[in-house]
Structure 1
Amino acid sequence: MTDWRIIQGDSAEALQELEDCSADMVATDVPYGILFMGKEWDGDAPLVHIFTQCLRVLKSGAAFVTTMSTRLDRLWR
């Protein structure tokens, strides 16, 4: 039987706890950066940092799943 675990938390923080090339999959729902309903937690997100950490922890050939808002285009301009 294969051992596995699910880590739930703020991806900007949780990914820092993982070793390089240690994850078979990363699934994250990053903040959309649109201040949904005025909520601060959905403000500007450190997306470059989060995605860099995802690449660091993923094994070669691993899966990466994320969600995005159609409004994210403003963050990349």
Structure 2
Amino acid sequence: MSDHKYHFDVKMSCSGCSNAVNRVLNKLDGVKNVDISLEKQTVDVVTSNALGYDTVLQTISKTGKQVIGGNVVE
């Protein structure tokens, strides 16, 4: 089983925004690493094989943050 890497461009205006995204992603089963840059407005997520792109995308969207774009890196 290999890991998946996902990249998202997410509109975040403050550290509270990025903390909210970080908190919900780390509660997901299968998330191995979350790297959020408030400066670049990006969220990079490494997951186990079982966790799909759409699930991660929906989880970020549930925080109310606007996901401008995203892609599968690996």
- Give TM class, smaller chain: 0.3 to 0.5
Structure with a larger share of its residues in strand: 2
| TM-score, normalisation: structure 2 | 0.33
| TM-score, normalisation: structure 1 | 0.32
Structure with a larger share of its residues in helix: 1
Structure ID, larger Rg = 1
